[in-house]
A and B are shown apart, each in its own frame.
Chain A
Amino acid sequence: MSVGIVLVSHSAKLAEGLAELAAQMAPDVTILPAGGLSDGSIGTDYDEVVAATQRADSGDGVVLLYDLGSAQMTAELAVESLADPSAAIVADGPLVEGAIAAAVAAQAGQDRKAVAEAAAAAGIPDDLAPAEEAPADAAEVELELHNDVGLHARPAAVLVRTLSEFDAEVTVRLGDQEADGHSVLALMSLGARQGDRIRVRARGPQASAALEKAKELVDGNFGE
């Protein structure tokens, strides 16, 4: 079970395409598109948003994302109409990046508040920081990427999902850029490609286990 996600868009194609993209990174999460009007034209269909929100809820609640202003209003109205409005949250984040971040958070088993926060945080461009010297208590491994696409969407999602199982703070470094190892978007924006050497750094009670698992993933080409 995980938090469900509903993508509210003026365009059916946009919502469907995004659901397809996000599902690739979160295979076990129910991600439903609710885009366009029932006659195929552009607009947001309140009834469809309500129905999708009800269907996406497997017991852990739902997070809704929207594209433009009126889609936000439709989404909020739909949530207010639910038997239990606290079961769903309209997340305030960029639609595409927010949907990816929310999907990965939901896949990792986070609750709806955390999933909504992940979507909202996707709009804040502070994920990449200049790399700093390793703190004394951090462990680090250097890994070479052999898989075809490097640290692209799916591998980044797999890495984040795996790392979320460990009690450890993880960062990934490429050259002089450093990304939060728990953020798919940050990892993707490193732009690490096949042949690049990344340095994975971890601290916390399960730091070494996390690094071992990261090495396993990279060496196994993320299961590609």
Chain B
Amino acid sequence: MACEAAGVAAAVRAAAAVVAEHRVELIDLDRAIGDGDHGENMNRGFAAVVAALDSAVPDTPGGVLKLVATMLISKVGGAAGPLYGTAFLRASAKLGTVEAVDVPALLDALRAGLEGVQARGKAVGGDATMVDALIPAVAAAEKAAEGGGDVAAVLTAAADAADTGAESTVDLVPRKGRASYLGERAVGHMDPGARSSALLLRAFAEAAR
């Protein structure tokens, strides 16, 4: 099963709904170790994405992701804007003009998204950032694909691994972003960016089923 532009747009809308639903949770996570704006920023960004999709849905999956990138970059206002924006932009570029996302294209897009986040934020695994959710997610997606999983199965494997990865940030000392100023004092708190990454992947996985 492959996913066309309309399906990708539906998955993005589902992600926007999840972000809205978890707005307060993300705010609370960020308030503990950052500046408390992550939930608000993500919600503002995805609300803008939905508004843009309401007026026109691009023809290709890559086009939809590019619209997501543009809106997040313009509207989020915090670090998540350029980070997620770059991820969606790179994924979009990787998809190019393909009509539908199959498993190999999905893997390419996920890898490109992770590379984009790392290029922009310069974070590596263990820094207690969204990268700690995304690295295991991409690895799990690759493994699920090798095992013959379809788009939904690959995304579900990615979301499961991202959940575990986000949990792992609780015990880490942050080395990037606002939380790094707290050092050891941030230990015991989940990174809000890792949490939002896991939420987005879960929303995409549910939408693909």
List the B side residues contacting A69 at CB < 8 Å. Answer: 79, 176-178
List the B side residues contacting A77 at CB < 8 Å. Answer: 73, 82, 85-86, 120
Instruction: State whether A76 and B78 are in contact (beta carbons under 8 Å apart), knowing that A43-B37, A69-B177, A69-B178 are contacts in the complex.
Output: no
- Shortest Cβ distance from A70 into B: residue: B79
Q: Would B41 and A43 count as touching, CB distance under 8 A?
A: yes
List the B side residues contacting A37 at CB < 8 Å. Answer: 77
B97 within 8 A of A: no
A44 within 8 A of B: yes
A70 touches which of B74, B82, B86 (Cβ 8 Å)? B82
Q: Would A70 and B81 count as touching, CB distance under 8 A?
A: yes
Question: Mostly helix, strand, loop or mixed at chain B's interface?
Answer: helix
- Shortest Cβ distance from B83 into A: residue: A73
Q: Would B77 and A41 count as touching, CB distance under 8 A?
A: yes
Say how far A46's CB is from chain B's closest CB, in angstroms: 5
Give how many B residues have a beta carbon under 8 Å from the other chain's beta carbons.
19
A129 within 8 A of B: no
Q: Would A46 and B78 count as touching, CB distance under 8 A?
A: no
Instruction: State whether A44 and B121 are in contact (beta carbons under 8 Å apart), knowing that A69-B178, A76-B82, A77-B86 are contacts in the complex.
Output: no
Instruction: State whether A46 and B37 are in contact (beta carbons under 8 Å apart), knowing that A73-B83, A76-B82 are contacts in the complex.
Output: no
A9 within 8 A of B: no
List the A side residues contacting B78 at CB < 8 Å. Answer: 43-44, 70
**A interface residues with partner B (beta carbon < 8 Å):** 37, 41-47, 68-70, 73-74, 76-77
**B interface residues with partner A (beta carbon < 8 Å):** 37, 41, 73-74, 76-83, 85-86, 120-121, 176-178
